Copies of this chain bind each other. A is one copy, B any other.
Amino acid sequence: MDGVREKIIDSAGRVFAERGYKSATVRQICQAAEANVAAVNYYFGDKEQLYLETVKQAHRRLTAQFPLPPWPKETEPAIKLNGFVSAMLARMIGGKAMPWEQQLMLREVLHPTNACRELVEEYFRPQLELLLSILSELLPSATPTHKQRQCAFSIIGQCLFYRIAGDIVEMMATKDDQSHFSIEQLADHITKFSLAAISETSTSEDHDSNAHPSTSLARP
């Protein structure tokens, strides 16, 4: 049996994730948790401390549910990349209803609060480091770090897009599309797209030029 405290955190997670910190009301939270209005202040002091506790809990559950995958020693890096992308996509738009934990984190990314700095160090940075370690096997060892990071962000950005703009994509989708936007298909596309870009990038010479806008032609 869940204690009242835990039940409140769970309800608070859902409500905060859906409505945001300011718009969520303690009365909604307590009603969802079948608890009295005063319970929030009794167990957590005030609304903000409940929010901080909720974000921590979200981080805890996510890292428990999606541990960093321990691949066999000599797995092909391309396989690892596909696994990473699939896992990230699954977390983003996983299954049917998005778990509130992920939704809360997304809110923190978009509009960081006090609860954010801890999340960056303990959740987002390890994920980035993992991706960078995979990329380091795919890119020439001479690749400058800032280019490695740009590639990593390009990959993450492709995944994040379907979380951010999923509703808009649906509005603009044709009947034909719908069957081609499953998680597996998207992961497949993103992996291929990125692998192609990487293998090509690694052969092109980058002179780290700053006064060389390359094919600049912003908006004529």
Measured CB to CB, the residues of A under 8 A from B are 19-20, 22-23, 66, 69-72, 75, 78-79, 82-83, 86-87, 90, 109-110, 112, 116-117, 120, 124-125, 128, 145-147, 149-151, 153-154, 156-162, 164-165, 167-169, 171-172, 174, 176-177, 179-181, 184, 186, 188-194, 196-201, 204, 210, 213-220
Indicate if the CB atoms of A172 and B125 lie closer than 8 Å.
yes
Residues of B within 8 A of A219 (CB): 66, 69, 83, 86-87
Known: A145-B176, A177-B149. A215 touches B82 (CB 8 A): yes
Most B C-beta atoms less than 10 A away, residue of A78, A154, A186: A154
Most B C-beta atoms less than 10 A away, residue of A22, A124, A174, A217: A217
Indicate if the CB atoms of A161 and B162 lie closer than 8 Å.
no
Residues of B within 8 A of A66 (CB): 219
**CB nearest neighbor in B for A110:** B164
Indicate if the CB atoms of A150 and B191 lie closer than 8 Å.
no
A120 to B165, CA, bound (A): 11
**CB nearest neighbor in B for A183:** B218
Indicate if the CB atoms of B171 and A164 lie closer than 8 Å.
no
Residues of B within 8 A of A23 (CB): 20, 22-23
Indicate if the CB atoms of B172 and A128 lie closer than 8 Å.
yes
A92 to B30, CA, bound (A): 38
Most B C-beta atoms less than 10 A away, residue of A124, A151, A193, A204: A193
Indicate if the CB atoms of B201 and A193 lie closer than 8 Å.
yes
**CB nearest neighbor in B for A124:** B168
Indicate if the CB atoms of A147 and B82 lie closer than 8 Å.
no
